[in-house]
Amino acid sequence: MPILPLFLPILIIAVLLADIFFFVSGIVSFLYGAPFVMLAKDKVKKALRQCGLSEEDVFCDLGCGDGRTLLIAAEEFKVKKAVGWEIASFPFFLAKMAIGRSKARDRIEIYSRDLFAADISKATFIYVYLASRMADRVADKIAKEALDGTKVVCMAFPIDTSKHRQLELVRREKADGMIAYLYQRSGW
């Protein structure tokens, strides 16, 4: 008996389960405030370079998706440590797989948790690419918990600094058609 007829139902079931996993993960992302959207690696690299990420930084990605930004920070910018939080299962799974294959995996940590449970007290550079409705909530967390001097990069969506006086807009940088907003947390 040929293997293909036996293998076909298994393959169909696997594809359906993967689709369900991806769909449910997308709903979780949306309900928590930001759908999983992959940003091109070249845009991420350019934004991080323009905003001054360095080897001295402890990098934090709030809503790290598939982990590409963590990998870029650790592998290309050689940060001391890269830490990410992702609540949706599918992107978290992709990130765990990618990080497991990385030569910089000993400097990368990822947690399958809500970003509001993240410990950002040691971060010197925080990266966020979230929907605008999340900006205020994330800015509250950063204003209350981040160290003075911490750099904060928000891709595409700005933070309302009139509501969050501890976050000062340092500059806006264009990164291949997208704007990266660089803030610095100050202690007043």
Break the chain into its structural domains and give their ranges. 41-185
pTM of the model: 0.84
Stronger pLDDT, 176 or 83, i.e. the higher one: 83
Residues near 29 by Cβ (< 8 Å), separated by ≥ 6?
35, 36, 87, 88, 91
User: Of 105, 131, 109, 130, which is closest to residue 120 (Cα–Cα)?
Assistant: 109
Neighbours of 109 (CB within 10 A): 14
Residue showing tokens 């091109």: 40
Residues near 119 by Cβ (< 8 Å), separated by ≥ 6?
145
Residue 90: band (very low, low, confident or very high) from pLDDT cuts 50, 70, 90: confident
> How large is the average pLDDT for residues 125-154?
91
Query: Topology of domain 41-185, per CATH?
Result: Rossmann fold (3.40.50)
